[in-house]
Amino acid sequence: MEEMDVVIVGGGVAGLGTSLALHRKGIKSVVLERAERVRSEGAALGVHPNGWRALEELGVADKLRRSNSVPLHRFRSVFYENGKRHETVGPAAYGAVNCLKRNELVKALAEALPEGTIRFGYGLVSANIDETSSFPILRFKDGRSIRAKVVIGCDGSNSVIADFLRMNPTRAFGSRAVRGFTSYPDGHGFQPEVVTMKMENVLCGRLPVTDRLVFWFTYFPHYSQQESEISRDREAIAELTKGSTKDLPEEWREMVKNCDVSSLYMSSIRYRPPWEILVGKFRRGTVTVAGDAMHLMGPFLGQGGCAALEDAVVLGRCLGKKLGQGHVFPPRKGMVEEAIDEYVRERRKRVFALSTQVYLTGKLVGASSGVAKVMLLVLLMVLFYDQIRHTRYDCGKL
């Protein structure tokens, strides 16, 4: 059985960001990823000011800012009700939002890590406590086993590490989203803004990435069994999306029609209820979680990736105080547990507020009852009167 000090399960944004945060604090870690290469599902993500602050602490912000992504300062919402067009306009964030290709972000994080940090082909099956050492043992599909001093689960919505922590399974909103890119060789001419358009049971969004590339999504509050079965057939996803947007304005129909089919990604929208985040246990021994494994939320605020980057910085800071430069490794087990508890305390309040706002927004988007819509709107106005306040959050120094 192989033995390691700090193991991070999952090589997505949370896993790579956490490893980089630890590296910058002088703590060596190993990232075990089930795929054969760095994952980049989801096409793109919005990076809000709070996400940029985290990226600055991780040392990759300047590199990513050179990607020519368009700063988006305005949010415009267009919706049709009883045949009438309504529009609201406001700031997208306290500062600008940038839409980045997910593979550019994970590539920047991966390239900043020491060579050999990421190991591929590690499909985790289970995690257990070694009765002799009281440290966790990880078992993988190919029969390999690893005993680690510290384990950080960044393994997404179906997290094996979350199961080990006895967290409840994530829940489904009962909806799906399609995401993709459309290229405009001569320029798209769209304003630098985040735009959403809602008509009946379809919600679409558009974010310019560069002057020639647009990221878009289509959200289906209700979907059939047939639709759920085509999630891996990109041609079928394209046809489904064309059909669902046939009544939208021409520029939206053309955007979907001319998309890069190979970029299409369809997924079920799942979440971890905010009340579980408020009272859940996120540590067992020297094991914890970060990113979606901890606080999976819907895409309605575009904060999933930013929150994962915040996790990385906070966890790196907390562990760095106990295990960083100048400390002997492995430390006393209690020191690791104290560091993780500090991380959990700091993150719980933040992700509870985010998850609550996302949960209420998601319920509002999918609500069919007029009474339910009014109640949800009132709750959002009372609890989140400043609906972009979350973009001003500062996770602090690493």
154 and 242 part of one domain: no
**Does residue 210 fall inside a structural domain?**
yes
| pLDDT > 60? residue 312 | yes
The DSSP output letter for 70 is P
CB 269 within 8 Å of CB 362: yes
374 and 336 part of one domain: yes
- The token pair at 189 is 């001419």
241 and 299 part of one domain: no
| Whole-number pLDDT of residue 272 | 96
CB 180 within 8 Å of CB 263: yes
| Whole-number pLDDT of residue 240 | 87
- Burial per residue of 360-385, b for 16 or more beta-carbon CB atoms within 10 angstroms, e otherwise: bbbbbbbbeeeeeeeebeeebeeebe
| pLDDT > 90? residue 84 | no
140 and 284 part of one domain: yes
User: What crossing angle do the helices spanning 333-366 and 304-323 adopt, rounded to 10°?
Assistant: 170
pLDDT tier for residue 41 given thresholds of 50, 70 and 90: low
| Whole-number pLDDT of residue 38 | 80
The half-sphere exposure of 208 on its side-chain side, counting CA atoms within 13 A, is: 20
Tell me the percentage of the chain whose pLDDT exceeds 90. 73
CB 10 within 8 Å of CB 26: no
β-partners of residue 46 are 99
Q: Is the dihedral of CA 64, 216, 297, 176 positive or negative?
A: negative
**Does residue 93 fall inside a structural domain?**
no
**Does residue 145 fall inside a structural domain?**
yes
Rounded Cα distance, 398 and 388, in Å: 24
Domain that holds residue 355: 2-67+103-170+272-392
| pLDDT > 90? residue 82 | no
β-partners of residue 145 are 139
34 and 7 part of one domain: yes
CB 15 within 8 Å of CB 9: yes
**Which segment of 75-84, 109-118, 313-322, 332-341 scores lowest on mean pLDDT?**
75-84
| Whole-number pLDDT of residue 229 | 60
**Does residue 90 fall inside a structural domain?**
no
**Does residue 80 fall inside a structural domain?**
no
| Whole-number pLDDT of residue 214 | 97
pLDDT, tens digit (0-9, with 9 covering 90-100), for 86-138: 999 999 999 999 999 999 999 999 999 999 999 999 999 999 998 888 899 99
Q: How many structural domains does the chain have?
A: 2
- The token pair at 139 is 């078992």
Instruction: Please name which of 383, 157, 350 lies closest in space to residue 271, comparing C-alpha atoms.
Output: 157
Which amino acid is present at 80? Y
188 and 235 part of one domain: yes
117 and 147 part of one domain: yes
Other CB atoms within a 10 A radius of the CB of residue 59 amount to 16
Q: Which domain-ending residue is among 241, 270, 299? A: 270
157 and 182 part of one domain: no
pLDDT tier for residue 42 given thresholds of 50, 70 and 90: low
240 and 304 part of one domain: no
**Does residue 330 fall inside a structural domain?**
yes
- CATH number, domain of 215, equals 3.30.9.30
Q: Which domain-ending residue is among 215, 235, 270? A: 270
The half-sphere exposure of 4 on its side-chain side, counting CA atoms within 13 A, is: 22
pLDDT, tens digit (0-9, with 9 covering 90-100), for 188-210: 999 999 999 988 778 899 999 99
| Whole-number pLDDT of residue 228 | 57
β-partners of residue 32 are 9, 119
- The token pair at 65 is 């800012």
Mean pLDDT within 31-46? 83
**Does residue 28 fall inside a structural domain?**
yes
- The residue whose two tokens read 């001003």 is 392
384 and 266 part of one domain: no
Rounded Cα distance, 197 and 203, in Å: 6
**Does residue 88 fall inside a structural domain?**
no
190 and 150 part of one domain: no
Mean pLDDT within 167-195? 93
311 and 338 part of one domain: yes
Mean model confidence pLDDT for the chain: 91
- CATH number, domain of 279, equals 3.50.50.60
CB 274 within 8 Å of CB 251: no
Rounded Cα distance, 42 and 45, in Å: 8
Rounded Cα distance, 103 and 128, in Å: 32
- Burial per residue of 282-300, b for 16 or more beta-carbon CB atoms within 10 angstroms, e otherwise: bbbbbbbbbbbbbbbbbbb
| Whole-number pLDDT of residue 199 | 82
| Whole-number pLDDT of residue 24 | 95
Question: Where are the extended beta strands (E) located within 209-325?
Answer: 213-220, 265-271, 283-284, 287-289
pLDDT tier for residue 326 given thresholds of 50, 70 and 90: low
| Whole-number pLDDT of residue 226 | 55
pTM of the model: 0.94
Calculate the alpha carbon distances from 147 to 130, 228, 252 in Å. 8, 38, 52
- Burial per residue of 156-190, b for 16 or more beta-carbon CB atoms within 10 angstroms, e otherwise: bbebbbbbbbebeebeebebbbbbbbbebeeebeb
pLDDT, tens digit (0-9, with 9 covering 90-100), for 340-398: 999 999 999 999 999 999 999 988 887 878 899 899 999 999 999 999 999 999 999 99
Pairing type for strands 287-289 and 145-153 reads parallel
| Whole-number pLDDT of residue 396 | 96
